[in-house]
Amino acid sequence: MADIETISYSLAEMKDKYIGKAGSVDREDYEYELKMDVLGQMIRTARKERNLTQEQLGQLVGVQKAQISKLESSVNSASIDTILKVFKALNANIYFNVILENQHLKLV
């Protein structure tokens, strides 16, 4: 029986190899999409914790149920104003971190 060599890679190494090195356009696009997906999941989770339907949340925000559904699946097409309204309707705090080269700004 032949020995099987095991090779393991870190997540960062896998991203570098299959998506692109950090700072590349493909990697930046990937990281952005990932963050938008996570934000949509956070909206869905907070809505469910508040026992609200998409329609009810839409009424609180002033948008249609379809817009809430789109937000939960991907917030790419949403304005920051809509996202802020959604979190306000959910009684949830949202914090922004802005990182400029060698500087960290925090807006609370």
Q: Which residue has the higher pLDDT, 31 or 2?
A: 31
The one-character DSSP state at 19 is: T
Residue 97 lies in a domain: yes
pLDDT for 49 equals 94
> Is 4 inside any structural domain?
no
Assess if residue 67 is contained within a domain: yes
How many distinct structural domains can be found in the chain? 1
- Decide if 71 is inside a domain: yes
Q: Is position 22 within any domain? A: yes
- The answer as to whether 5 is a domain residue is no
Let me know if residue 3 belongs to a domain. no
Q: Could you list the residue range(s) of the whole structural domain that residue 39 is in?
A: 11-107
Residue 46 belongs to a domain: yes
pLDDT tens for residues 59-97? 999 999 999 998 898 777 778 888 889 999 999 988 776
CA 49 centroid distance within chain: 18
31/19 Cα distance (integer angstroms): 10
Question: DSSP for 40-99?
Answer: HHHHHHHHHHTT--HHHHHHHHTS-HHHHHHHHH-GGG--HHHHHHHHHHTT----EEEE
Q: Domain holding 100: CATH number?
A: 1.10.260.40
